[in-house]
Structure 1
Amino acid sequence: MEQDTKPEVVDDNLIDFDGPDDPYLPLNWPFRHKVVVTLLYSLCTMGTTWASTVYNSGLSQVQEQFHVGNEVALLGMALYLAGNAFGPLLWAPMSEAYGRKLSVLIPIFGLMVFSFASAVAKDLQTLLIARFFGGVFGGAPLSNVGGVLADIWPPTQRGAALLFWGMAVIVGPLLAPIVGGALVIALPHTGWRWTGYLTGTMLAAILVASMLWIDESFPPVLLARKANKIRLETKNWAIHSKSQETGTSFKEMSRKYLIVPFEMLIDPIAFFINLYAAFCYAIVYLAVIAFPIEFQAVRRWNEVVGSLPFLAMTAGVLIAACINFWGQLYYRKRFIANGNKLVPEARLMPMIIGSFFFPAGLFIMGWTAKKDIHWIGFSIGGACVGFGFFTIFQSAISYLVDTYLMLAASALAANMFMRSILAAAFPLFAKALFDKLGLDWGMSLLGFIAVAMIPIPFLFYIFGKRIRAVGKRSKQTFIP
């Protein structure tokens, strides 16, 4: 007996890709082109995080020129990071309306302009305003590049691309103080200005290369462009793409990028994972203050030599990259064993390892921060902090993506908002903390907080599935 079936309605005017092997689909780009695009977007990201800390190399010169204290001068970094928190609320919706390329390269141009503006600032107000708006523009790669990597890399290769991009996020702020210190030594009175000139010049070079070799990768925007071209060539005004059926209303964009991310701040999984990752991220920026205190104020090293121990933290990040790569292999085994279904908790293995190294590094830094103890001790502590941070940070990003799926953009926006706000606040009280408690007990206090957070990855590894099933937002994408 034949069953009545409704014929599938095919819209001949609807433009789509010509099957899964269509070369126009970014997933089918040549491997070499994908690597170049990933490299250039990672350089864009490194440029924005570089800009956040290179300014700190010239803090003493800023204080001297504008006759302000340390906390006021530090506002230059704090306001930049605050701009990072709010910028994605503008650039994320722009990426969906106009594509990834414009939503990253236009802000990079803005950051370049404000980097030069901060370099020529005649008063402190101009400097701080330029730094804040530089941060607003600099937030774009931090929020949008993850989407690019999802556009061009299949799931089996995406982990390595995200790992490379994640290294660019953290290597930038760790290398910048070394170069900035060299500029301050070479130019005793205007070195702080040249940190801005150098950043602007570097961003200009990255921007030119990106304009030449980066192609648009967001499929809905590509299909809309394809539909527009065919519509004009054929004069058939009914031709359109799927995204052009719904458009991008202000109400929907506001809900997606303003309301939902803030709702994520109170969803159980997002709140605790974001809090942990944000705390670790903020410690990196507090270390930007702690290292000069230890090696320049206590040990009397100059700005260049006193910045070299940042390489120890960078080495920790590189070692962590190997652990994260092992984590990808571990996740793949769990994924296959689970019938090719997502297992978000399997993403937490590197975080569990890093959760012990992170507080250990803080304690080592604290209790080797004495002039009569060899400098290698403090550096080893910094390497442990870098190792712990990167394993925790990358695992958190991967876990949020697996947990929230189609809501991942909002979960990551909440993550970025929280971590940027904490990173902006921590350096402001760093000097007061270390002046009153000393580096030993100041770093130990942070270590005790990190110890208190060690149970977080274990709790989510054991109970994460149950929590995902009841969370207001996580249950919307819950996969048993």
Structure 2
Amino acid sequence: MQSVLQYRRFRKILEAQLERDDEKVAGLRQQRRNHRSTKNSPLALRKDGGDVAAVDDDENAAQEDDTRQGNFSTTPSTTSSSTRHATAEIDIEQTPDPDLEAGDLHIVPTQSTTGTTLGHALTGIEVRDRTTKEGGSELGKVFVVAWEHEKDPMNPQSWGFARRTTATMVLSFIGGIVGFASAIDSAIIPQAMEEFGVSEVAESLATGIFMIGFGAGALIAGPFSETVGRNPIYILTMALYMVFLVGAGAAPSLSAQLACRFFSGMFGATPLVCAGGSLSDLWNPAERVFAFPMFACFSFLGPLIAPLVGGWFGESETLSWRWTEWITLIASGIILIVVVLIQPETYHPILLKWKAQHLRRLTGDKRYRGGIEIRKTPLAMRLVRALYRPVLMFIQEPIIILFGLYLTVVYIVLFTFLTGYTFIFTDIYGLSQGMTGVCFVGQMVGVLSCGALIPLNVHLRKRDIARAKALGPDVKVAPESRLYWAMIGGPAIPISLFWMGWTARPDISIWSPLLASVLFGFGILCVFMTTYQYIIDSYEVYAASALASITLIRYVISGAMIEISIPFYRNMGVAYTLTILGSISGILVLIPFAFYKYGPAIRRKSKYAPE
């Protein structure tokens, strides 16, 4: 709905721009007439022999080019305003005027030349030859549509702060509810395993298979969103994800439940891949310092709220465990309605395609094209690249390998806590199923406490921007400016795991492991934000493939680890399990510090990271 209204608003904005630029065209033509009158006209009429005087070379070139291109002018594009105006002056054709006597010629602007003059006069239009990949120059000129100016109201980064914040909140709700769906089944394992007659490990697959579906869906969501836009993909995939939630809730057997959970996870992966792009559409790099934490907080709160809610459904005597799927379905439906009603389209190439479509209708000139319309790479080819490039980058790129490993370990700890909290708070402290879910509030507090670091990171970002500008106006801030989150919060993860592992004992207060979980929540969000922002800034155009690689690896491995977590906690015990995880994460704490020092040298050797 909002996208439809947005599309209609584009037409009104362009009508106003055309009115302004029509005045430019009229002024250019008047300048041309004045110029010719002062030179006694370059085309003289001679009745003595019926011959026509020579036309100046530029005008002949323009006329011959028009003939070759099927009556379309092909004046070279320029960047300066004065050159563009000069070029537009010669953009005419010689057309016989029936009101003149035989043998006389008169210069009459045709529709084609008028359109070309308008194309040159319009702000934000690049008139150029088609490249080889676009079909070659033999297809004629193309008018490539861009933003009119830096504050173009069609550009999402020019929208008001409140409108962009609202769009970011909607994205955050999508990420939150999908994360909620991924973890909700972990809270009702005892009830579901009893009904299906399977083991605890087998039923925990309902959570693990959903996360593996996340990883599979991450590979295909990006290319589709870059073809049809963000909103259609959000709406379609959310609808399909909800359909399979219904199947999981009504499943008569474990196999049916697992199949539906996998496909629900696959279609629910869209926010994990596309939301980062949507945030980049809305906010410039400096603004993402405070915009990205907003999305990250909600994305992590989802899987932490899920066991809190699901635990009470599990021990309820009146509601079935299947209500965990129904409550997820209801919340997802509400969010889907919000997306349809108020979420605008933000993908820049699609918005410029809309702009080009309106210009073609308003001017009758078919040469206006958005960049995405003249790109010849088919969707099938982009899907193939989406399948092999993330794997290739994970093998070849040290940044992807190390940060992918770091985030994977963090997610292993996070999602094994879904089953591990039962061993910590139920077995050791004797809490009920519902109260064990409440213990996840500690991690929620830790996640939200990251907001306290936003002012510090804004200050550090501004400092780095000032240093870059001092080196030159075109110098960009190095991606290493994004590492501060993990450098500050990363050490909190191993500290919290050692703390929780060795104080979770009956003779020590329950508040000790709960406080340790606050520190863990703080650390995981810091690492997550650093990883995503550092990779986006490092790989730019290849960021989608890089993020897809990390998403695939971390969800597939952490989903598989959920199956191992139950026997791991049971056989090794809480203290040794968390000590092993804490030791691994302690070694990985060095990664952001290493990249802060050696990151520029590593990126220079990469074929995917631009200098």
Quickly name the TM-score band, shorter chain normalised.
Answer: over 0.9
Match of 1:166 in 2: 296
Which of 341, 346, 356 is residue 491 of structure 2 equivalent to?
356
Secondary structure class of the residue paired with 2:270: helix
How many Å apart are 1:10 and its aligned residue?
2.2
How many Å apart are 1:348 and its aligned residue?
1.6
Gaps of at least 5 residues in structure 2 are 1-75, 79-125, 129-141, 470-474
Q: Which amino acid aligns with 1:311?
A: V
Distance in 2 between the 1:338 and 1:238 partners? 40
How many Å apart are 1:170 and its aligned residue?
0.6
Q: Choose between structure 1 and 2: higher helix proportion.
A: 1
CA deviations on 1:87-113 (whole Å, 9 max, x unpaired) are 022211111100011111211111222
**Counterpart mapping for 1:462-477 below 5 A:** 462-474=597-609, 477=610
How many Å apart are 1:366 and its aligned residue?
0.8
Runs of 4+ in 1 over 4 A off after TM superposition: 232-235
Distance in 1 between the 2:460 and 2:245 partners? 42
On the 8 A contact 2:187/2:418 being kept in 1, the answer is no
Change (3 A) 1:231 1:321: same
Match of 1:207 in 2: 336
On the 8 A contact 2:219/2:552 being kept in 1, the answer is no
Which of 445, 457, 461 is residue 315 of structure 1 equivalent to?
445
Which of 307, 328, 345 is residue 216 of structure 1 equivalent to?
345
CA deviations on 1:385-411 (whole Å, 9 max, x unpaired) are 111111111111111112112211111
Secondary structure class of the residue paired with 1:365: helix
Distance in 2 between the 1:20 and 1:73 partners? 54
Which of 11, 14, 33 is residue 163 of structure 2 equivalent to?
33
On the 8 A contact 1:348/1:461 being kept in 2, the answer is yes
Which of 388, 411, 414 is residue 281 of structure 1 equivalent to?
411
Is 1:335 matched with 2:465?
yes
How many Å apart are 1:86 and its aligned residue?
1.0
Distance in 2 between the 1:420 and 1:7 partners? 48
Match of 1:198 in 2: 327
Is 1:179 matched with 2:309?
yes
**Counterpart mapping for 1:72-471 below 5 A:** 72-187=202-317, 191-232=320-361, 235-250=364-379, 252-266=381-395, 267-339=397-469, 341-471=476-606
Q: Which amino acid aligns with 1:30?
A: G
CA deviations on 1:30-63 (whole Å, 9 max, x unpaired) are 3222121111111011010000111111100111
CA deviations on 1:341-394 (whole Å, 9 max, x unpaired) are 222223222212222211011111111222222101111221121111111111
Change (3 A) 1:236 1:350: closer
Q: Which amino acid aligns with 2:202?
A: V
How many Å apart are 1:191 and its aligned residue?
3.1
**Counterpart mapping for 1:13-28 below 5 A:** 13-28=143-158
How many Å apart are 1:234 and its aligned residue?
5.1
Distance in 2 between the 1:472 and 1:13 partners? 32
On the 8 A contact 1:224/1:241 being kept in 2, the answer is yes
Superposed CA RMSD: 1.8
Q: Which amino acid aligns with 2:145?
A: I
On the 8 A contact 1:364/1:380 being kept in 2, the answer is no
TM-score (norm 2): 0.74
How many Å apart are 1:251 and its aligned residue?
5.2
CA deviations on 1:305-350 (whole Å, 9 max, x unpaired) are 1111111111111222322552242132123212252222232222
Moved more, 76-85 or 403-412: 403-412
Change (3 A) 1:306 1:458: same
Distance in 2 between the 1:17 and 1:269 partners? 34
Distance in 2 between the 1:194 and 1:30 partners? 40
**Counterpart mapping for 1:51-62 below 5 A:** 51-62=181-192
On the 8 A contact 1:363/1:443 being kept in 2, the answer is yes
Distance in 2 between the 1:446 and 1:228 partners? 55
Q: Which amino acid aligns with 1:10?
A: V
TM-score (norm 1): 0.93
How many Å apart are 1:179 and its aligned residue?
0.9
Distance in 2 between the 1:296 and 1:463 partners? 45
Match of 1:3 in 2: none
On the 8 A contact 2:188/2:314 being kept in 1, the answer is yes
On the 8 A contact 1:358/1:384 being kept in 2, the answer is yes
Distance in 1 between the 2:344 and 2:210 partners? 29
On the 8 A contact 2:77/2:127 being kept in 1, the answer is no
The count of corresponding residues between Structure 1 and Structure 2 is 470
Match of 2:62 in 1: none
Select the structure with the greater relative contact order (CA < 8 A; seq sep ≥ 6): 1
Change (3 A) 1:113 1:254: closer
Q: Which has the larger radius of gyration?
A: 2
How many Å apart are 1:233 and its aligned residue?
5.3
CA deviations on 1:135-172 (whole Å, 9 max, x unpaired) are 00110011101111111122222221111001111110
Q: Which amino acid aligns with 1:170?
A: F
Secondary structure class of the residue paired with 1:192: coil
On the 8 A contact 1:58/1:181 being kept in 2, the answer is yes
How many Å apart are 1:176 and its aligned residue?
1.0
On the 8 A contact 2:218/2:269 being kept in 1, the answer is yes
Which of 127, 141, 146 is residue 10 of structure 1 equivalent to?
127
Distance in 2 between the 1:398 and 1:196 partners? 33
Distance in 2 between the 1:251 and 1:271 partners? 27
Q: Which amino acid aligns with 2:497?
A: L
Q: Which amino acid aligns with 1:460?
A: F
Moved more, 330-339 or 265-274: 330-339
On the 8 A contact 2:289/2:454 being kept in 1, the answer is no
Moved more, 9-18 or 60-69: 9-18
Secondary structure class of the residue paired with 1:10: strand
Distance in 2 between the 1:428 and 1:282 partners? 11
How many Å apart are 1:248 and its aligned residue?
4.1
